[in-house]
Amino acid sequence: MSSPTTIIGLEVHVQLQTQSKIFCGCSSAYNPTHPNAQTCPVCLGLPGSLPVMNRRAFELGVKTAIALNCDIAPFTKWDRKQYYYPDLPKGYQISQFDLPFSDDGFLEIDAPGDSGEKRRIGIIRAHLEEDAGKNMHDESGRGTDSQVDLNRAGTPLLEIVSQPDLRSPAEAKAYLEELKLLLTYLEVSDCNMQEGSLRCDANVNLHMEAEDGQKIATPIVEVKNLNSFRNVELALEYEVKRQLEQWQKTGQTLGEVAKETRGFDAARGVTFAQRGKEEASDYRYFPDPDLVPVTVSSAFLDQVRESLCEFPADRRKRMAVAYQLSDYDVRVIVDQGRAFANYFEEVAKLCSDGKQASNWVTQDVLREMNERRLTIDEFPIRAAVLGNLLERITKKQVTIKSAREVFVELLSELHSRTPISAHHIDQIIAEKGLALVTDTGELERVIGEVIAKNPKAVADFQSGKQAAVGALIGQVMKSVKGADPQKVRELVVAKLRG
Ligand SMILES: [Zn+2]
């Protein structure tokens, strides 16, 4: 038997960043402390109330679908998906069934690993729907009551369904990371997984070929409600093993048993069987008579297209060329988000040295941000100031080492010196004597002294021990702080060779 190919498709639910819910004026803000405070007759499903579509939610959906290379339907409608559950007061969810507003797109991702290979993952459709509320079960063990919070009921969701094009759990994770980055660049969602703004269901099965050439596929399993990318990867890794063992035991293949719905127990790292999955026919979908269908004009589409930003993938390509950076460097910068990439570009332009700017931003700035738990917008050294500091390296006014000292000092003096300006850089350079010594006469005088005081090192060097020169350079640098080490080395070696 051939080794199995893993077939994965993902359904991602993204909460759109609107002020109000999708069919009423209630706030869609996350509010777990005041249950049911953000409700009205529409999202409570009271008789006689009528929903009205939130135009902004539709616009954010279209924006995302365009970025995912989808076709936008000129005509789309709303359908009722009927099922009973206590967190769904109307007894149906307003969704889109046979005429979603967009379909047939793709997202390009980098294959996991260092191959540099690009993979195009198909998007079957993206449609809009409303979220349900949340059941709160008493987990204290004392009581037996369950309560329901409908603050989330009616929050706008965008469901993005991929083709089963993903070939490994790692690739599924890479797709989710790229999708999340795109959504945050577009500012359509905050993608906060803790607050449930991004949720994922994964469909997975295995394709194999028997010795007689017969093609075998294992039954499809849907793993529901995965709340972190790591859990998506772990649940899929577990399923790949489990399905192979299951097939070896039972010989059951696709079509012989119904599609199975499973949950994931993160603590034990295993998936477990859940209730049977309904088929579309069980939901008795029909067009919602309370909502008018939506016609999408080309003027509206033009307006949405104009509001689009540069996408992460395009930005990586452009920045790699513009600043002569490696694929690794641009990935680190772009993947930190739009504000971080903007910060980098401003620094790079000011100091005219992309590589230097990238080193500082991805190492020094990122490290300090993480240690201080700051976002780039909160980071006290603004791009204009860092750009000014790095420009002094380009112009050979300070060494890289001295610039690092200034950087550390700027941050340590924070309490008294906010907002930090280029003037503070001048001050620190003056106070610490960090200005690069360009006066060769002064350097030569110090070098002469150091050589006179260190006959042993000089003798070692002259007997062929090249390393001995390091000790001499160190002593010179100690006396003349702002000296350029490259220059000092040249002068010391020249002097020793006489
Ligand atoms: Zn409401």
3-state secondary structure of 354: helix
Q: How far is the CA of 350 from the centre of ligand 1 (A)?
A: 49
Flag whether 394 is in a domain: yes
For residue 157, give the nearest of 274, 23, 259 by alpha carbon. Answer: 23
Best mean pLDDT range from 319-333, 415-429, 447-461: 319-333
Q: How far is the CA of 27 from the centre of ligand 1 (A)?
A: 8
- Tell me 283's DSSP state: G
Pairwise CA distance, residues 158 & 13, whole Å: 6
Out of 377, 398, 432, pick the residue that ends a domain.
432
Q: Answer with the residue of higher pLDDT: 314 or 278.
A: 314
Flag whether 305 is in a domain: no
Flag whether 228 is in a domain: yes
Out of 275, 298, 321, pick the residue that ends a domain.
298
Pairwise CA distance, residues 357 & 349, whole Å: 9
Best mean pLDDT range from 301-315, 393-407, 417-431: 301-315
CATH number at residue 450: 1.10.10.410
pLDDT in tens, 6-63: 999 999 999 999 999 999 999 999 998 999 999 999 999 999 999 999 999 999 999 9
Q: How far is the CA of 151 from the centre of ligand 1 (A)?
A: 8
Q: How confident is the model at residue 415 (pLDDT cuts 50, 70, 90)?
A: low
Q: How far is the CA of 288 from the centre of ligand 1 (A)?
A: 18
What's the domain count of the chain?
Answer: 3
**Domain interval for residue 287:** 5-298
Q: How far is the CA of 451 from the centre of ligand 1 (A)?
A: 83
β-bridge partners, 161: 11, 125
Flag whether 331 is in a domain: yes
Percentage of residues of the chain with pLDDT beyond 90: 71
Tell me how far apart the terminal alpha carbons of the chain are, to the nearest angstrom. Answer: 76
Judge if 416 and 454 occupy the same domain.
no
Judge if 477 and 396 occupy the same domain.
no
Judge if 236 and 323 occupy the same domain.
no
pLDDT exceeds cutoff 80 at 187: yes
pLDDT in tens, 364-403: 999 999 999 999 999 999 999 999 999 999 998 899 999 9
Q: How far is the CA of 320 from the centre of ligand 1 (A)?
A: 47
Judge if 270 and 398 occupy the same domain.
no
pLDDT in tens, 143-184: 678 899 999 999 999 999 999 999 999 999 999 999 999 999
Q: How far is the CA of 38 from the centre of ligand 1 (A)?
A: 7
Q: How far is the CA of 223 from the centre of ligand 1 (A)?
A: 31
- The phi-psi region of residue 267 (left if phi > 0; otherwise alpha if psi is between -120 and 50; otherwise beta) is alpha
Query: CB within 8 A of 388, min separation 6: which ones?
Result: 350, 422, 425
Average pLDDT, the chain: 92
Q: How far is the CA of 364 from the centre of ligand 1 (A)?
A: 47
Flag whether 106 is in a domain: yes
Q: How far is the CA of 296 from the centre of ligand 1 (A)?
A: 25
Judge if 350 and 283 occupy the same domain.
no
For residue 103, give the nearest of 128, 81, 82, 120 by alpha carbon. Answer: 128
Out of 388, 405, 432, pick the residue that ends a domain.
432
Q: How far is the CA of 22 from the centre of ligand 1 (A)?
A: 9
β-bridge partners, 156: 130
pLDDT exceeds cutoff 60 at 277: no
For residue 100, give the nearest of 133, 138, 74, 118 by alpha carbon. Answer: 74
**Tokens found for residue 156:** 């706008």
422: phi then psi, degrees, rounded to nearest 5: -60, -25
Q: How far is the CA of 37 from the centre of ligand 1 (A)?
A: 10
- Other beta carbons within 10 Å of 405: 16
Flag whether 379 is in a domain: yes
Query: CB within 8 A of 297, min separation 6: which ones?
Result: none
Q: How far is the CA of 130 from the centre of ligand 1 (A)?
A: 11
Query: CB within 8 A of 445, min separation 6: which ones?
Result: none
Task: State the number of CA atoms in the 13 A half-sphere of 414 facing the CB.
Answer: 11
pLDDT at 259: 86
pLDDT in tens, 109-139: 999 988 889 999 999 999 999 999 998 887 7
Judge if 424 and 445 occupy the same domain.
no
